[in-house]
Structure 1
Amino acid sequence: MSGMLDSKEIMSRLIEAFVVVASTGKGDGPRSVLSAWPDFRRKIARRRRTFAPRQISDAEEALTWFALVEDPDSRRALQFEIMCKAGGGPFSRTCEKYGWKRSTVTSRNRVVLKQIARKLEGGT
């Protein structure tokens, strides 16, 4: 990966990664990661498209960033927001379902994205 990414770019890359992985329909590789994502919605996967090898490679790289989030609850909340933004339904409905206050979760996710950005650039 070249250059430093900010939290908005990290979010964009993660959303794109989800769309690529969900849309490729591959039974191996990054698609298998989706089975571990909470509440995966198959309607996203139905939008079959083809992607350039570079896009698939970038998606696979972005998915590894979740390993940089040590707290499983924080990782899960970020994954939910990403799935919703990728077309998985309203994030507010997901927050209601889990008893979360949307503004709080969104704020916490911004902090997590900044932490990922710092770790990617070699910080702590």
Structure 2
Amino acid sequence: MSGCPESKEIMSRLVEAMTVVACTAKGDGPKSILSAWPDFRRKVAHRKRTFGPRQISRAEEALTWFALVDDPDSRRALQFEVMCKAGGGPFSRTCEKYGWKRSTVTSRNRVVLKQIARKLGDAT
């Protein structure tokens, strides 16, 4: 990725990556992410789509960006928002389940996305 990506681009790429992994049911996908949401693949399985090698590589690259988030709680909150945006259900329901205030988590996730964008920009 050339230049410093915007936080919206980061979110878009993460959602795209999660969709690719869920739809292709890649066995080597982000098990630690999807295991926290066991019915996630089933919810998007009806989307039987085929993705080319370039799209899969792009998805795999984006999924490594979660490792740039040092705080595990922040990483988890971002992962859940991404899964929801990729078709895993309403994020508000997830927030309720974990006792999170949605607006607070969403706001914090925007900060995390900016941190990821900055780290990716510094790496180029």
What TM-score comes out, normalization by structure 1 length?
0.90
Structure with more of its chain in helix, by fraction: 2
What TM-score comes out, normalization by structure 2 length?
0.90
| Structure with bigger RCO (C-alpha 8 Å, 6+ apart) | 2
Q: How many residues align?
A: 119
Identity over the aligned pairs, expressed in percent? 77
Residues of 1 paired with 2:17 and 2:83: CA distance? Answer: 10
Deviation at 1:39, TM superposition (A): 1.6
Indicate the residue corresponding to 1:83 in structure 2.
83
Deviation at 1:111, TM superposition (A): 0.1
Indicate the residue corresponding to 1:36 in structure 2.
32
Indicate the residue corresponding to 1:58 in structure 2.
58
The range that moved more, 55-64 or 18-27, is 18-27
After superposition, the CA RMSD in angstroms is: 1.3
Unaligned regions of 5+ residues in structure 1, if any? none
Structure 1 segments, 4+ long, off by >6 Å, are: none
Unaligned regions of 5+ residues in structure 2, if any? none
Residues of 2 paired with 1:109 and 1:13: CA distance? Answer: 15
Deviation at 1:73, TM superposition (A): 0.1
Indicate the residue corresponding to 2:4 in structure 1.
4
Residues of 1 paired with 2:32 and 2:46: CA distance? Answer: 18
